[in-house]
Copies of this chain bind each other. A is one copy, B any other.
């Protein structure tokens, strides 16, 4: 790389003159500025980022820790974070925790060596199950900012971006009730997670506060080592009267729809299904799945903006929690509303 020193030597001026010239300092004569800039342009000079980071003690880089990039929700969140960050002049260093506490901890520790100005992250499943977030608090204690999104913890005091998980599931369930459904089942492969628990509570609440609904809530959980396919097949066998499904994760709704179709349920006449999927799965469903849209792009953007606000005002000790609105999008797997 070309350095200020190189330019200075070739022009027979001092390094600081070159530096000032490139910054259009008033102190430098217009002719010198022109000469310097011409040569800089010609040699494709770029200020060395590392040197500037060292000088300023700031990197303009955000560490982003994602539990699972193969989950479309997180891929889309990453997309939004990258876009918003780069539009503000920030780079992102991406780490994947693979849902493991050890990898999450490792990434936090490694990058808190001055590599990044702070973190945007969603908590790994393992950390949530163990409810062990000491490694995250340790970073905050070093005064390194963190924004948590989606999967958060009440134990951690920092800026957060979430959706109203409880309300979203509550509303979706209410909708099925308004259709007159009497046997509504919830399917989840994320019952370990904060968001999963909240959504389940929303579902249960909607059912129990409805006086006409007699059934007890039924929650079908699919664990890591189970095959969703089979579990959902069993579900249909066990509850043949099922007439409503709330699927609170990314994929179960689609799978349930496929199975229902195979089993000759009429959707949405006999059975309504609402998923929490992103719209990428719609290409694979016919009829089109009704979903709770999580506005993932907004979640990503809001995270970056909270992060930048925090950097600009590190001292401020009140934290913000931004709640992104969800939207129930009724497509073809719920009855049309009149």
Q: Identify which of residues 155-205 in chain A touch chain B, using a CB-to-CB cut-off of 8 Å.
A: none
Task: Choose, from A48-56, A209-217, A325-333, the stretch at the interface.
Answer: A48-56
User: Which of B91, B107, B283 makes the CB contact (< 8 A) with A111?
Assistant: B91
Total copies of the chain: 2
Q: Is the CB of B281 within 8 A of A114?
A: no
Question: For residue A282, which residue of chain B has the nearest CB?
Answer: B229
Per-residue CB contact flags for chain A residues 55-98 toward chain B (1 = under 8 Å, else 0) read 00001010010000110100110110011001000011111101
Q: Tell me whether B82 and A94 are in contact (CB under 8 A).
A: yes
* A30 cross-chain contacts in B, Cβ below 8 A: none
**Smallest beta-carbon distance A40→chain B, Å:** 13
* Interface contact A93-B92, CB-CB below 8 Å: yes
- A264 interface residue, CB < 8 Å from B? no
Docked CA distance A94–B63 (Å)? 10
A124-132, A235-243, A251-259 - interface stretch: A251-259
Most chain-B Cβ atoms within 10 A of its Cβ — which of A115, A228, A254, A262? A115
- Which of B54, B92, B115, B262 lies in contact with A54, CB distance below 8 A? B54
Which of chain B's residues has its CB closest to A60's CB?
A: B115
- Chain A interface residue bracket vs B: 35 or more
Is the Cβ of A94 less than 8 Å from the Cβ of B96?
Answer: no
Name which residue of chain B comes closest to A47, CB basis: B113
Q: List B contacts of A82 (CB < 8 A).
A: 69, 94-96
A112 at the interface (CB under 8 A from B): yes
Is A5 close to B, CB under 8 A?
no
Ordered by A's residue number, 24 sampled pairs between the chains whose C-beta atoms are within 8 Å are A1-B114, A44-B142, A48-B114, A49-B114, A49-B115, A50-B53, A50-B59, A51-B54, A54-B54, A69-B69, A69-B78, A70-B75, A79-B96, A83-B96, A83-B98, A86-B107, A91-B110, A92-B94, A93-B93, A93-B94, A255-B283, A258-B284, A281-B284, A284-B284
Query: Could you list 19 further interchain pairs (A-B, Cβ under 8 angstroms) beyond the known A50-B115, A54-B54, A254-B283?
Result: A1-B114, A1-B142, A44-B142, A46-B114, A47-B113, A51-B54, A61-B93, A70-B72, A70-B76, A75-B75, A82-B95, A86-B95, A91-B110, A91-B115, A93-B94, A228-B283, A229-B286, A255-B283, A258-B286
